[in-house]
A = this chain, B = another copy of it.
Amino acid sequence: MTKRIGILTGGGDAPGLNAVIRSVVLTAYNAFGWEVVGIRQGFDGLLAGTPVMTLSPHNAYDLLARGGTVLGAVNRGNPFMRPVVQPDGTQIMVDAAQDVITRMHELNLDAMIAAGGAGTMAAALRLVELGARIVGVPKTIDNDLSATDVTFGFDTAVVTATEALDKLQTTAESHHRVMVLEVMGRDAGWIALTTGVAGGADAILVPEIPFDINIVCDKILALQEAGRRYSLVVVAEGAHPIDGEQEYIFHGDPMSQARLGGIGYLVGNAIADCLEAEVRVTRLGHVQRGGQPTPRDRWLATRFGSAAVHFVAQERWGHMVALRGTKLIAAPMQDAAKINRVNPDGEMVRMARHLGIVFG
């Protein structure tokens, strides 16, 4: 029986989303003879009746190495809460989940593949409970899902951050400087940890381990005394000081200051205060979410997209693709909410400490 499946992307950007889309289109067509239509702007676009995008093996072919998502994506809270104006002129928020189901029927979609983060999976799961036929592809640049060994986009982000750290290293060495690199990671420090280890950092500050700036300064000092006159510090955007140093680092106003310049600047200023060293700060920001996915992320995203189509064929509604070792498995969408944080006492941090890295 001919099938017609929809695909949408949700949440923040991650390199590889287009490769997922392409893989879904090619696999659906070649392996099953199915048609794929692209839903623009995620659930928002679906509700708004935004025209869908026809996706064919021909026009999807070039998507493999393109950053971003041609379908667009919206990154905000519950996508089903919609403002409705009441007779009395006031506006209330109503749940439009059922409207999404209706819209899927109108589009003659036999099934849908939703690629997105925890929010997208939660929304998809809600629809599955209402009878929709959806499988998921997990997406988080932070690589912080317990359900899967790795997610696409993470490798690209780490490559971008490590290339920056490599560049900082050469000029730090020549000019005897302390370089601070702020990278992504609001709740989980995997990008910081992996970049720091791959780029030879001396200190790595992650959200999971509140930092004592004095430990960082002591480490830099010890290196100087041992003859190395520069240091590299990687700071996750969600890093924060131990209780006793909140005042010192945030100057009594954590929110407004941090919003402006980022925790990297605050750390850089604190290091400049405690050492006689020139400190320079780089904040990469969304550069880490952009650009062509690495070959590894293209490969991984392609595998995820392919598996998602097979999961549709197997009617594994409410499940999402996950990698375990070298195998792809179907994990319950609920698992998208199970976050894998850096364990302060775990193997990775211990390994990094053994390399001489301090975590504040």
Q: Does A257 contact B (CB under 8 A)?
A: yes
Q: Are B13 and A175 neighbours in the complex by a CB distance under 8 Å? A: yes
- Of B69, B282, B302, which contacts A355 at CB under 8 A? B302
Q: In the complex, what's the smallest C-beta–C-beta distance from A147 to chain B, in angstroms?
A: 12
Q: Once the chains are docked, how many angstroms separate the CA of A260 from the CA of B172?
A: 20
Copy number in the complex reads 4
Once the chains bind, are A283 and B286 in contact (CB under 8 Å)? no
Task: From B61, B158, B179, B287, give the contact of A295 (CB < 8 A).
Answer: B158
Q: A30 in the interface, Cβ–Cβ < 8 Å? A: yes
Residue from the list B70, B261, B354 in contact with A31, Cβ < 8 A? B354
B-chain residues with CB within 8 Å of residue A166 when the two chains form the complex: 65, 290-292
By the criterion of a CB under 8 Å from any partner CB, how many residues of chain A are at the interface?
A: 87
Q: Is A73 an interface position by the 8 A CB rule?
A: yes
A265 at the A/B interface (Cβ < 8 Å)? yes
A139 beta carbon closer than 8 Å to chain B: no
Option from B66, B281, B351 in Cβ contact (under 8 Å) with A303: B351
Q: Which residue in chain B gives the minimum CB-CB distance to A303? A: B351
Q: Which residues of B contact A72 (CB under 8 A)?
A: 174-176
Cβ contacts A to B, 27 pairs, < 8 Å: A12-B175, A13-B170, A17-B174, A27-B355, A57-B356, A61-B228, A68-B173, A72-B174, A72-B176, A73-B175, A149-B326, A155-B296, A159-B294, A166-B290, A170-B292, A172-B286, A179-B286, A198-B295, A198-B298, A261-B262, A261-B265, A280-B286, A282-B284, A282-B286, A283-B285, A294-B294, A306-B351
Binding site for B on A (CB under 8 A): 12-13, 15, 17, 23, 26-27, 30-31, 57-58, 61, 64-70, 72-73, 75, 149, 155, 158-160, 162-164, 166-177, 179, 194-195, 197-200, 226-228, 257, 260-262, 265, 269, 280-292, 294-296, 298-299, 302-303, 306, 324-326, 351, 353-356
